[in-house]
């Protein structure tokens, strides 16, 4: 994977271990990781990530 430039989410609390970071690749994929586990990266297309976030907002996904 090419070098990614990570950005902390504005929704993160800022405390140690509670930061969600994201980066985009030249191919248009979105990469997500938690700051306390930087080697564990989830990758999604913008469409798939938007569908997941919309489902969470609509409470269709219950954990």
Residue 25's pLDDT is what? 94
Confidence category of residue 2, pLDDT binned at 50, 70, 90: low
- 8 A C-beta contact, residue 44 and residue 50: no
Confidence category of residue 61, pLDDT binned at 50, 70, 90: low
Predicted confidence (pLDDT) at residue 1 exceeds the cutoff of 60: no
Tokens of 23: 């980066």
Give the Cα separation of 4 and 55 in Å (integer): 27
- Per-domain residue ranges of the chain: 7-57
Q: Phi and psi at residue 18, in whole multiples of 5°?
A: -125, 30
* Per-residue pLDDT reduced to its tens digit, 6-48: 998 777 666 565 788 999 999 999 999 998 898 999 999 999 9
- Taken in order 1, 12, 35, 7, the sign of the CA dihedral is positive
Beta strand pairing call for 7-8 and 20-24: antiparallel
Residue 4 vs residue 1, higher pLDDT:
4
């Amino acid at each position: 994977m090419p070098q990614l430039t990570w950005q902390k989410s504005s929704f993160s609390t800022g405390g140690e271990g509670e930061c969600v970071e994201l980066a985009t690749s030249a191919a248009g994929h979105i990469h997500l990781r938690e700051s306390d586990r930087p080697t564990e990266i989830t990758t999604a297309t913008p469409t798939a990530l938007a569908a997941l976030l919309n489902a969470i907002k609509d409470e269709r996904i219950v954990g």
